[in-house]
Amino acid sequence: MGELVRKQLYIYRTQDALLKRRAKELGISEAELVRRAISEQMMMYAPLKGTDAKGWENEKAFITQWMAMGPVKGGRTWKREELHER
């Protein structure tokens, strides 16, 4: 993955205990567990590579168009409570 860089950080005692326990369960170092957690976090919130921005704009325009038409005529024929009974 590349060259390692030393970092120092402070965590809560409860986090330390969780980190130690999970690292032991997985059979990896605490540092490796922290590296994995950082990688997962970055992937979760990083923009998707190769996404089609124009496609999303088209979808947004489609939804906006449907919203502009207003509620469906005749209204709903069901109640929210009925959905839970199904």
Between 59 and 50, name the one with better pLDDT: 59
Look at residue 85 and tell me whether its pLDDT is greater than 70: no
* Rounded mean pLDDT, 3-10: 94
pLDDT tens for 39-57 read 998 888 766 666 677 888 8
pLDDT tens for 22-31 read 999 999 999 9
Three-state DSSP state, 29: coil
Supply the pTM of this predicted model. 0.53
Q: How far apart are the first and last CA of the chain?
A: 50
Instruction: Give 75's Cβ-side CA count (13 Å radius).
Output: 3
pLDDT at 71 (0 to 100): 82
